[in-house]
Amino acid sequence: MQLETYPFTKHPESHYYEFYSEGPKGNIKKVVEYYRFPELGAEVFNLAFGDWDEDNHHINDFSTSNNADRDKVLATVAATVIEFMKEHPYAVLIATGSTLSRTRLYQMGIARVWDEINQFFEIQGYINDTWQPFKQGVNYNAFLLKRR
């Protein structure tokens, strides 16, 4: 994908990436973390993303930065997905927004670059208690991604 991204850093021996959003609200630390769902299988991971809460030392996936760089931030998250999948080619990622509107935002991001994503990844959407192939225009509750 040829989208503009922020440089990001991967923490050694972890599934933790960080970068800084830059905009009118200043530099805001963002974190993407992939953690295993051992009960679902050895290679099933959740994608967690949000602002870093320095006071509580965790990802705040409910914060709204409004730093005027949404597309660049989402493209950077996507770049970490690509990097993660290079290291874990058999991984299955599950992602959902912390709110319905965020899940919808992620869906719009997927739809925007669908032709590029679809070449390399299979994406399914979760709706009506089932996983089905991703279709644009359908409002899903979660997403599942794996390499083709």
Task: Tell whether 1 is covered by a domain.
Answer: no
pTM score over 0.75: yes
pLDDT one-digit tens code per residue, 34-85: 999 888 878 999 999 999 999 999 999 999 899 999 999 999 999 999 999 9
Task: Tell whether 134 is covered by a domain.
Answer: yes
**Number of folded domains in the chain?**
1
Task: Tell whether 23 is covered by a domain.
Answer: yes
* Three-class SS of the chain: CCCCCCCCEECCCCCEEEEEEEECCEEEEEEEEEEECCCCCCCEEEEEEEEEECCCCEEECCCCCCCCCHHHHHHHHHHHHHHHHHHCCCCEEEECCCCHHHHHHHHHHHHHCHHHHHHHEEEEEEECCEEEECCCCCCCCEEEEEEC
Domain containing 99: what range?
Answer: 9-147
